[in-house]
Structure 1
Amino acid sequence: MQTKVINNKPVMIWANSVDAKAMQQIENLTTLPFLFHHLAMMPDVHAGMGMPIGGVLACKDVVIPNAVGVDIGCGMCAVKSNYQVSNISQEVLRKQIMNGIRQRIPLGMTHHTEAQAQEYLPKGHHIEQMEVVKRRQEAIVYEVGTLGGGNHFIELQKDEDGWLWVMLHSGSRNLGKLVCEHYDKLAQQLNARWHTRVDPKLRLAFLPVGTEEFKKYWAEMQYCVDFALCNRRLMMQRVQEVLAEALPGIAFEPMINIAHNYAAWENHHGQNVIVHRKGATLARQGVVGIIPGSQGTASYIVEGLGNASSFNSCSHGAGRVLSRTAAIASLDLQAEVSQLEAKGIVHAIRSQKDMQEATGAYKDIEEVIANQTDLIKVKTRLLPIAVIKG
Structure 2
Amino acid sequence: MSSTLRLAEQLISRPSVTPDDAGCQAILAARLQALGFECETILSGPDNFRVTNLWAKFKGFSSSALSGRAQAATDSIANQELKTLVFAGHTDVVPTGPLEQWSSPPFTPSHRNGVLFGRGAADMKTSIAAMVVAVEEFLAATPQPNLSIAFLITSDEEGPSVDGTAVVVQQLKARGEVLDYCIVGEPTSVDRLGDMIKNGRRGTLSGKLSVKGVQGHIAYPHLADNPIHRFAPALGELVATEWDAGNEFFPATSWQVSNVHAGTGASNIIPGELVLDFNFRFSTESTAGSLKTRLEAVLQKHKLDYSLKWTLGGQPFLTTPGELVQAVSASIKAETGVVTELSTTGGTSDGRFIASICPQLIEFGPINASIHKIDEHVLVSSLEPLKNIYKGVLERLAAL
TM bucket (normalised to shorter chain) is under 0.3
Q: For the pair shown, which has the larger CA radius of gyration, 1 or 2?
A: 2
- The normalised TM-score by structure 1 is 0.26
